[in-house]
Amino acid sequence: MLIEIQHPSFKTQRLAVETAGWYRGPKLLVNSVPAQKTKGSYIVRNDLEIETTIQLKYNLLDPIPKVKINEETLELASPLKWYEYACVGLPLILVFTGGALGGLIGAISANASGKVFRGDRSLFAKYSLSVLISLGGLITFITVATIVQLFVGAPHK
């Protein structure tokens, strides 16, 4: 998803954020070209040709970052509510109960659920899909853990 950034220092340039993907964080685009990231920040020249520091602040559960331009923080979307975070983060229970495998499946499920909540579906559909993703993650974990236990945990002759 591409989100335009409106800022007074960048009226003649087009700033946009490409939201986080499955295997990468969000990206900053300047005039439709990916900006170069250095040490967690982007150094971009504004309309007055002054170097400006831009940072994208995001977490695993919400694919839409906050944008920090110098010392000013912009929210590109309204923050998720605590109960939305709770629903999105439900699969993370696998992190604490399922070791590395649970952590991997829980993180993937939570990330997918976060993308659902940032979509344009109805509220009922968002919660329904999020619960289905959590159940799917749990079923996947149980299935994979059982298979691993059968083949790896089996005694060798």
Closest CA to 108 of 72, 61, 47, 143: 61
In this prediction the pTM is 0.75
How confident is the model over 82-128, as pLDDT tens digits? 999 999 999 989 988 888 999 999 989 998 999 899 888 999 999 99
How confident is the model over 4-32, as pLDDT tens digits? 998 998 989 899 998 877 777 889 999 99
CA dist., res. 49 & res. 145, Å (int)? 56
- 3 state DSSP class of 20: coil
For the chain, the maximum distance between any two Cα atoms, rounded to a whole number of angstroms, is 74
User: Which tokens go with 106?
Assistant: 């829980």
CA 30 to chain centre: 21
